[in-house]
């Protein structure tokens, strides 16, 4: 274990225009810089970074520490585990298959994964739409797989079917479609569906259909690879008064629901392409962006793998998703008029409520600027 040694005094703040376009005026992202600084100086995060793409090019802000062992500051870029930001990628591939006539959005999951859910004779079976919309009623595997178990056995390989069977050994929460409830199990099933329909792994399909066309060179579905390639900060978990470095782990523990690696730059580019309609046909784009309320205090509404949030601090709304994985937590958002931001903190779990609130505030601060 690595003991909490505190933040570097005078932690480095970096704001830089990363394209050849005109640099952003200091005042434009002043509030964003204040919130990111607060994440590490007051909220208890180890390090934080935000990358914004907008009218004036790309701007990055970083505070705090990227590696407690060496004292290196949080880099203003680099790769990290994106957790549930994996879900929009998986949903996009499923909706592409719908557009190609290979998957029916309102067909029972049983049609593609026979026998797995035991829905063969059900009056109201779980459909593909229920999976993507988080309205299946299937239990969340993470409600029955304690974080301590994942941390203590973090290099174990998990089969997607194992994760699903852990969830399905518990009662369903409600009839499919009756209400909304977030479940990682839904997206592990969606990834299994992709593999059954295409004959290729969902990672291969994400690479072929999204990563390669958009040139998202920082993004990958790592499979059993335990490290993060390229430049990256370390990822930490707070256990009591100590910080444990959990940068290396086997991400199959979150197969299809939270296993991907990416960078803020790539996530912004992906969301920009998605909202422009560059990845889906118009009918599937409308399906993805047709939302239902989640009942969360944030006012979020959930579509098919994509969420709509009200902006706080200005009028309007944005689309995006959050992502939590051992060691990292990230939030990405984009507006339909072409602004994108990703904010990442290299501490999860173990963050404070203030960290969560300021993490969300940083997204709005960037998009309202």
Known catalytic residues?
A: 84
- Alpha carbon distances (Å) from 63 to 13, 32, 210, 322: 5, 12, 31, 20
Contacts of 247 (CB under 8 A, 6+ apart): 227, 228, 232, 234, 235, 327
Largest CA distance in the chain: 64
The beta strands (E) that lie in the chain are given as 2-3, 14-17, 47-54, 57-67, 72-73, 79-81, 236-239, 242-245, 261-263, 292-293, 301-302, 307-310, 317-325, 328-334, 340-345
For 101, the token pair is 């006539």
- Alpha carbon distances (Å) from 213 to 65, 279, 361: 34, 9, 32
On whether the CB atoms of residues 57 and 19 are closer than 8 A, the answer is: yes
CA 279 to chain centre: 18
For 138, the token pair is 């299937």
| Distance separating alpha carbons of residues 329 and 39, to the nearest angstrom | 12
- Return the C-alpha torsion angle 158, 164, 169, 170, nearest 10: 120
| Distance separating alpha carbons of residues 353 and 367, to the nearest angstrom | 22
């Amino acid at each position: 274990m690595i003991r909490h040694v505190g933040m570097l005094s005078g932690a480095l703040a970096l704001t830089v225009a990363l394209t050849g376009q005109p640099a952003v005026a200091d005042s434009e992202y002043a509030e964003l810089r204040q919130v990111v600084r607060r994440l590490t100086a007051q909220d208890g995060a180890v390090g934080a970074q935000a990358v914004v793409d907008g009218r004036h090019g790309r701007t990055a802000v970083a505070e705090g520490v990227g590696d407690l062992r060496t004292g290196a500051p949080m880099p203003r870029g680099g790769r990290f585990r994106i957790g549930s930001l994996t879900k929009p990628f998986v949903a996009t591939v499923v909706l592409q298959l719908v557009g190609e006539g290979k998957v029916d959005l309102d067909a029972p999951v049983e049609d593609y994964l026979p026998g797995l859910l035991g829905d063969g004779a059900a009056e109201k079976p779980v459909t593909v739409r229920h999976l993507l919309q988080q309205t299946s009623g299937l239990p969340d595997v993470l409600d029955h797989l304690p974080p301590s178990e994942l941390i203590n056995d973090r290099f174990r390989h998990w089969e997607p079917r194992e994760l699903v069977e852990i969830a399905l050994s518990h009662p369903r929460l409600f009839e499919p479609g009756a209400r909304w409830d977030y479940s990682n199990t839904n997206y592990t099933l969606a990834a299994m569906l992709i593999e059954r329909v295409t004959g290729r792994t969902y990672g291969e399909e994400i690479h072929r259909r999204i990563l390669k066309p958009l040139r998202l060179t920082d993004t990958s579905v790592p499979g059993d690879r335990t490290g993060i390639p390229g430049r990256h900060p370390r990822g930490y978990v707070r256990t009591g008064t100590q910080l444990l470095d959990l940068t290396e782990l086997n991400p199959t523990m979150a197969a299809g629901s939270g296993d991907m690696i990416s960078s803020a730059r790539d996530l912004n580019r992906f969301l920009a392409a998605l909202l422009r309609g560059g990845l889906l046909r118009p009918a599937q784009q409308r399906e993805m962006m047709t939302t239902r309320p989640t009942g969360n205090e944030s006012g979020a509404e959930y579509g098919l793998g994509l969420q709509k949030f009200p902006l706080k601090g200005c009028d309007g709304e944005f689309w995006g998703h959050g992502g939590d994985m051992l060691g990292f937590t990230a939030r990405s958002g984009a507006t339909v008029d072409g602004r994108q931001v990703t904010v990442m903190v290299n501490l999860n779990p173990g963050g404070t409520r203030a960290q969560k609130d300021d993490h969300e505030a940083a997204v709005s601060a960037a998009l309202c600027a």
